[in-house]
Amino acid sequence: MWLKKKDYHFLEKAIEKLNEILQKSNITELAYILENKKELIKRNILAGIARGIGIGIGVTVITAILIILLRKIVALNIPVIGEYIADIVEIVQNSK
């Protein structure tokens, strides 16, 4: 079973394209990580710590923005809403 020159050229191009795709997707690094349990555990621990810090910072920023907005609404002196929000802001400040 001999390949024609045209088929050979087509296969060669397909293999080169597949090789480029595999290099871009870092399959070799992924295989190394999955093989090496210590590396997998180390990366997962670092990823968990980074996610935890990111969530903490994100919640803090969003809460600060909400409190600032609520204070501005209280300053507008809207009768029912202002009293309710003032109570919420007071509770948050007392819990610090």
Greater confidence (90 vs 56) lies with 56
Question: Residue 49, exposed/middle/buried by CB under 10 A (0-12, 13-18, 19+)?
Answer: exposed
Domain span at residue 95?
Answer: 54-96
- Whether the model clears a pTM of 0.75, i.e. scores above it, the answer is no
Look at residue 95 and tell me if it is in a domain: yes
Look at residue 63 and tell me if it is in a domain: yes
Q: According to the model, what pLDDT value does residue 8 have? A: 76
Burial 69-95 (b: 16+ CB within 10 A, else e): ebeebbeeeeeeeeeebbeebeeeeee
Look at residue 79 and tell me if it is in a domain: yes
pLDDT per position as a tens digit, 22-79: 777 777 777 777 788 888 889 899 999 999 999 999 999 999 999 888 888 777 777 7
Look at residue 42 and tell me if it is in a domain: no
Look at residue 10 and tell me if it is in a domain: no
